[in-house]
Chain A
């Protein structure tokens, strides 16, 4: 079978050393997105397990699979969870959730958990959208901006381009940074024409790294505009799949002149973590 360059690795983890039966609250958050879905199980204020999977055509199946993988080999069953909150695009397809919460709130809560109280601007670089969220120092949302028009240049686009350019998606960022200076950004980030433009650039003599640089520069530039509109305040942090692409993150940082906070947790978990926290507060 042809190599699938776009297929970023899924992951899951379950704690070995937490006795969940002794915890006061056991909650879970499930975030079903168009492209990726996550489940996070929390015991009190600790993360007990998580899973990050590709969203399949059946959203319900994906949600169940996520939770099941987050629980891993532990003896915990879904019925043992006190409260489950669903969020994300496909939140209506999480039948086992007690309630749903909007993605913005969940991301904000999740980001505070992951990056600490100092984060004031959270930017979710997702598959279809860029959401820039500005927070007060207490847990309330101050402002919010989303990309205009369409999903050009976001996660889904990066996946398509990984295939088109035959570069493993996890390597795109690093390879794009192997240039002395960024070339001109590409004229369009729409993936329908990405390959056509890439052919033209290769013909001009661009190397693979330069083509990647031209694309990620254009994407980062566009993201910078959206982020700028929310009048960002330090500290800034990135969540979502593209937060794992240093080619994009570094370029946004350079354009802004800021350095983003980082976290030990996978940035794609922010929504689910936030949902799990909200679940705890709902008890």
Chain B
């Protein structure tokens, strides 16, 4: 059976088309705005095109993500930890913990027996120094997210790790003092690492060797390196990590 998983995130919609346990197509679109349903359709049709199939070929669709309610044509909806956990187990049966860093949410799930989830920890409102912060800082520093994510520096600049808005103010201070941009970029990556690390150690003890990292921010090398150093965890990062939620949803659709 062919199934589809649609993950409607804050920033991006991700779609995965699955056939007999293999991904046959992916699609993505910028979400946001009042026309999220339109973004969903675009991403979905791109995925169908990539899979070379028609809408009627898809047996079941499951939606996840914060905007899962915007997928009117989904047969079912699951919450993000359930989708992430499913994907992680599928890709790495030995996984015991999944970390999902997105635009404004970070979730850490520890996996229980069978397909149970033992614990879910989510960031609280403040200190969401995550994907949105990185995107915003890239703009302030006059570089693309991709470029920023590949920078490294030996600098020692520090920005506030308690609040994305305060972090930004600190960045302006550093620019005012003509601190090199690579150094500031490194400081920002460190912020995300600090925040995620505190969530990682809230109530749980993530496995140093069997923890999977997914979500859009996992593509950011600078952040991942900083996080690895800080947490001591050798994260397993799947290819196309930002599609993990959609993959999980597609797997759940398949049963």
Q: Do chains A and B touch in the complex (CB under 8 A)?
A: yes
Set B33, B66, B141, B175: member contacting A164, Cβ < 8 A: B33
Residue A203 interfacial (CB < 8 Å): yes
B212-247 toward A: CB 8 Å interface, digit per residue (1/0)? 000000000000000000000000000000000000
Determine the distance from Cα of A34 to Cα of B136 in the docked complex, in whole angstroms.
13
Chain B: interface residue total (CB-CB under 8 A): 33
The B149-199 residues at the A interface (CB cut-off 8 A) are 163-166, 168-169, 172, 175-176, 178, 181
B252 at the interface (CB under 8 A from A): no
Contact B104 A196 (CB under 8 A): yes
In the assembly, what is the distance between CA of A189 and CA of B116, in Å?
37
| B125 & A193 in contact (Cβ 8 Å cutoff) | yes
Given the complex, which residues of A lie within 8 Å of B176, measured CB to CB? 59, 89-90, 92-93
Bound Cα distance A56, B172 (Å):
11
Q: Does A97 touch B at the CB level, under 8 Å?
A: no
Q: Render B97-133 as a binary contact track against A, CB cut-off 8 A, 1 for contact.
A: 0000001100000000000000000000100100011
**How many positions in chain A have a CB within 8 Å of any CB in the partner chain?**
35
Chain A residues lying within 8 Å of B168, measured Cβ to Cβ, are 151, 156
Given the known interface contacts A57-B181, A59-B176, A93-B176, the answer about A166 and B35 at a Cβ–Cβ threshold of 8 Å is: yes
Interface residue A202 (Cβ < 8 Å from any Cβ of B): yes
Chain A residues whose CB sits within 8 angstroms of the CB of B163 once the complex forms: 150
Judging by beta carbons under 8 Å apart, are B30 and A208 in contact?
no
Chain A residues contacting B35 (CB-CB under 8 Å) are 166
Across-interface contacts of B10 in A (CB, < 8 A): 195-196, 199
> Does chain A have a CB within 8 A of B209?
no
Q: Is A160 an interface residue (CB 8 A)?
A: yes
Among B35, B128, B133, B176, max chain A CB count under 10 A is at B176
Q: Are B33 and A59 in contact (CB under 8 A)?
A: no
The answer for the CA separation of A243 and B20 in the assembled complex, in Å, is 57
Q: Which A-B residue pairs are the 9 nearest by beta carbons? A: A166-B33, A208-B34, A57-B142, A34-B172, A192-B164, A192-B128, A195-B10, A203-B69, A164-B32
- Ordered by A's residue number, 9 sampled pairs between the chains whose C-beta atoms are within 8 Å are A57-B142, A59-B175, A59-B176, A128-B172, A191-B164, A192-B125, A196-B66, A196-B104, A208-B33
- Given A59-B175, A195-B132, 18 more contacts at CB 8 Å? A57-B140, A59-B178, A92-B176, A93-B176, A151-B165, A156-B168, A164-B32, A190-B125, A191-B132, A191-B164, A191-B165, A193-B125, A195-B10, A195-B104, A196-B10, A199-B10, A202-B34, A208-B34
Which residues of B are interface residues toward A (Cβ below 8 A)? 10-11, 30, 32-36, 66-67, 69-70, 103-104, 125, 128, 132-133, 136, 140-142, 163-166, 168-169, 172, 175-176, 178, 181
Which A residues are within 8 Å of any B CB, using their own CB? Answer: 2, 34, 56-60, 89-90, 92-93, 128, 150-152, 156, 160, 163-167, 188, 190-193, 195-196, 199, 202-203, 207-208, 211
